[in-house]
Amino acid sequence: DIQMTQSPSSLSASVGDRVTITCRASQSISRYLNWYQQKPGKAPKLLIYTASSLQSGVPSRFSGSGSGTGFTLTISSLQPEDFATYYCQQSYSTPWTFGQGTKVEIK
User: What DSSP line would sit under 26-56, residue for residue?
Assistant: SS--TT-EEEEEE-TTS--EEEEETTTEEPT
Instruction: Determine the interface stretch with other proteins among 18-26, 32-40, 62-70, 72-80 (rule: CB under 8 A).
Output: 32-40
Binding mask 33-72 for other proteins (x = CB under 8 A): -x-x-----xxxxx--xx--x-x-----------------
32 near other proteins (CB under 8 A): yes
24 near other proteins (CB under 8 A): no
97 near other proteins (CB under 8 A): yes
> Residue numbers of the site for other proteins (CB under 8 A)?
1, 31-32, 34, 36, 42-46, 49-50, 53, 55, 87, 89, 91, 94-101
